[in-house]
Amino acid sequence: MGIAQWPAGEGPRDKLLERGAHALSDAELLAVMLRTGYRNCSALELARDLLRQFGGLAGLVRVDGPRLLAWPGVGRAKYAQLQAAMELARRQALQALQASDVLSSPGETARFLQYHLGTHDREVFCCVFLDSQHQVLCCEDLFFGTLDGAAVYPREVAIRALQYRAAAVIFAHNHPSGVAEPSSADRRITERLCAALGLLDIRVLDHVIIGRGREFSFAREGLL
């Protein structure tokens, strides 16, 4: 049964319109996006199956395309809807970050980085380049790795920072394991990056590690 066929006032869509999106469970919100189920499985039942199978919303956004497309009742259209929703959330978070001073809005920075990096199943190292007023110039993914790590080269970071005429930078990378604590390698590369950019008078504001629903900030922990 599709959302449109639910009895008046009983479906997730009606609940959203009457009470607001905050009143819906994860499964109900997902059902509104999916719109329809398949055969004898309603949209809400499909949503619950997906969340149960893939470990909730965090697991669902991380699952690779072929595996999700192979799930009964999903298909290309529903997969595209889910991808579009995630990209809209990421872009909204980036726009909010661009409109703020990152030093006074650490929450906006963390929220954007969660959207930007939290869905990857391999390690990605990105840089947020900032001007002298700490406004965002660009966010760029520079290095890509495996489940265990990504090789990071300070020379390449410095080149990109100079190309953007950046006065400051925030580093960020994800831990696909979900654990946000920094490794010894994370600490070493942070020191090397700070030393390299310091020679160019480019300030390192933070290095943020994104885990599953949480993040670790080098600046917040006094490690910069």
Return the pLDDT at 153: 94
Output the average pLDDT for the chain: 88
213: its two tokens: 């629903």
Please give the average per-residue pLDDT across 206-223, as a whole number: 92
User: In the chain, which segments carry CATH 3.40.140.10?
Assistant: 100-217
Return the pLDDT at 2: 54
Distance in angstroms (rounded) separating the CA atoms of residues 62 and 86: 11
Give the model confidence (pLDDT) of 152-195 as tens digits. Answer: 999 999 999 999 999 999 999 999 888 999 999 999 999 999 99
pTM exceeding 0.85 = no
Strands 203-210 and 124-130, bridge-based pairing: unpaired
Q: What percent of the chain has pLDDT over 70?
A: 93
Distance in angstroms (rounded) separating the CA atoms of residues 179 and 199: 32
3-state class percentages of the chain: helix first, strand second, coil last, to nearest 5: 50, 15, 35
- Are 209 and 172 in contact by the 8 Å Cβ rule? The answer is yes
Position 8 confidence tier, pLDDT thresholds 50, 70, 90: low
Lowest model confidence (mean pLDDT) among 2-16, 49-63, 197-211: 2-16
Residue 157: C-alpha distances to residues 17, 30, 160, 222 (Å)? 47, 39, 5, 23
Give the model confidence (pLDDT) of 50-86 as tens digits. Answer: 999 988 887 887 788 889 999 999 999 999 998 898 8
97: its two tokens: 């970050």
Position 6 confidence tier, pLDDT thresholds 50, 70, 90: low
Give the model confidence (pLDDT) of 110-165 as tens digits. Answer: 888 988 898 888 899 999 999 999 999 999 999 998 766 678 999 999 999 999 99
148: its two tokens: 């265990």
Lay out the sheet containing 124-130: strands in order across.
Answer: 136-144, 124-130, 168-174, 203-210, 215-217
Return the pLDDT at 222: 93
The H-or-E segment that residue 158 falls in is: helix 154-163
- Are 216 and 171 in contact by the 8 Å Cβ rule? The answer is no
The H-or-E segment that residue 217 falls in is: strand 215-217
- Are 132 and 167 in contact by the 8 Å Cβ rule? The answer is yes
Please give the average per-residue pLDDT across 12-30, as a whole number: 89
Instruction: Work out the angle between the directed axes of helices 184-198 and 154-163 (0-180°, nearest 10).
Output: 40
Distance, CA of 91 to chain centre:
10
Q: What is the CATH number of domain 100-217?
A: 3.40.140.10
